[in-house]
């Protein structure tokens, strides 16, 4: 299987570690490096994954490091590092703390891997994608966020569960923010080509939409400590695969908008063609009036957060 030479995963927590395992087992790269600030954590997880190679049968070489310079030469970088919001922490606090982490990583990529395609996972992902691009100065097409890929997976599963059908037969998109203002596009949702509205009543569809919006929170509540990482790492691996193998998949990601959907200078979840060069093209789909209004509300929510970031002393402009 043709892939890339090197993939770097920033952050060796549950998401980063699980993603590194999925990538190694998929043999998408010659080398996968796991990078984290905590000494021993990335090295230990990398070694643990590597020791499964004889059993699983993969050839990828896994390493771990606490040095950001280890991103050098990476073809693909996945940014998973960052803090989760804690009790008593305001949204502004979270934005500022994660902006500091992501900003430092972005500068390291600019210095050591300027040709890389970057997938941002850190929350709030729409804002952090914008921030990573601003600080790294990479081309807009080379920096995008996970966002709608995960939300769409959750939405598709909830539909499949309600209808008792194969999840792979459910198609659709969740666009906008990765948060309360996300927008499941019901007009484009179907099961093996049959429109969703013909299979489920409006009240059940509305309940699925609401559950999708709270999908991450539902898991946090069940776990009591921690958050989701199996489904997120699976969707991230799907994005890495699309880039590494130049699959030119049509997938929803957080992408930089430059006039598409009537919006500019922000990153928001939209359908794109994803290949080896990153976002090859943003696909503009027709939205219903209600969907269009909700999509605009998503854009407004992102702009509010960007205003917080703009007030930071190190806030750069995007070119």
The CATH code of the domain at 4-145 is 3.40.50.720
The CATH architecture assigned to 148-309 reads Alpha-Beta Complex (3.90)
User: What are the tens digits of pLDDT across the range 41-72?
Assistant: 999 999 999 999 999 999 999 999 999 999 99
pLDDT at residue 319, rounded to an integer:
41
Active site residues per annotation: 178
Does the pLDDT at position 88 exceed 80?
no
**Can you name the residues that pair with 175 across neighbouring β-strands?**
183
User: What are the tens digits of pLDDT across the range 224-256?
Assistant: 888 899 999 999 999 999 999 999 999 999 999
- Are 257 and 264 a contacting pair, CB within 8 Å? yes
Distance between CA atoms of residues 85 and 124, nearest Å: 10
Give the residue-averaged pLDDT of 114-119: 98
User: What are the tens digits of pLDDT across the range 179-188?
Assistant: 888 999 999 9
Lowest mean pLDDT among 20-29, 87-96, 107-116, 205-214: 87-96
Does the pLDDT at position 122 exceed 70?
yes
Does the pLDDT at position 152 exceed 70?
yes
pLDDT grade, residue 318 (50/70/90)? very low
Does the pLDDT at position 208 exceed 80?
yes
**C-beta neighbour count of 125 within 10 angstroms:** 28
Distance between CA atoms of residues 165 and 73, nearest Å: 44
Q: What is the CA radius of gyration of the chain?
A: 19
Distance between CA atoms of residues 196 and 239, nearest Å: 26
Higher pLDDT, 17 or 85: 17
The full set of domain ranges for the chain reads 4-145, 148-309
Residue tagged 């998401």 (tokens): 15
Mean pLDDT of the chain: 93
3-state helix, strand, coil in the chain (%, to 5): 50, 20, 30
Among candidate residues 65, 31, 72, the one with its CA nearest the CA of residue 45: 65
């Amino acid at each position: 299987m043709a892939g890339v030479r090197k993939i770097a995963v920033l952050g060796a927590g549950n998401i980063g570690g699980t993603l590194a395992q999925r990538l190694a087992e998929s043999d998408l790269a010659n080398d996968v490096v796991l990078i984290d600030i905590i000494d021993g954590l990335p090295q230990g997880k990398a070694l643990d994954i590597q020791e499964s190679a004889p059993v699983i049968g993969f050839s990828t070489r896994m390493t771990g490091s606490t040095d950001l310079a280890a991103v050098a030469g990476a073809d693909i970088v996945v940014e998973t590092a960052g803090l989760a919001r804690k009790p008593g922490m305001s949204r502004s606090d979270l934005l500022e703390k994660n902006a500091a982490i992501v900003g430092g990583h972005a500068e390291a990529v600019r210095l050591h891997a300027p040709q890389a395609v970057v997938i941002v996972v850190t929350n709030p992902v729409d804002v952090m994608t914008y921030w990573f691009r601003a600080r790294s100065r990479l081309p807009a097409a080379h920096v995008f966020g996970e966002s709608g890929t995960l939300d769409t997976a959750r939405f598709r599963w909830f539909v499949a569960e309600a209808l008792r059908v194969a999840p792979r037969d459910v198609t659709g998109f969740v666009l906008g923010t990765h948060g309360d203002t996300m927008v499941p596009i019901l007009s484009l949702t179907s099961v093996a080509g049959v429109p969703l509205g013909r299979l489920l009543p409006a009240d059940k569809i509305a309940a699925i939409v609401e559950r999708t919006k709270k999908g991450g929170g539902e898991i946090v509540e069940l776990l009591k400590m921690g958050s989701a990482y199996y489904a997120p790492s699976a969707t991230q691996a799907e994005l890495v695969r699309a880039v590494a193998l130049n699959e030119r998949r049509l997938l929803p990601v957080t992408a930089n908008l430059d006039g598409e959907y009537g919006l500019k200078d922000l990153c928001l979840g939209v359908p794109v063609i994803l290949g080896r060069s990153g976002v090859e093209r943003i696909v503009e789909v027709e939205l219903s009036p209600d969907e269009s209004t909700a999509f605009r509300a998503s854009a407004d929510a992102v702009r509010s957060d960007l205003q917080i970031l703009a007030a930071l002393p190190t806030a750069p402009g995007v070119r």
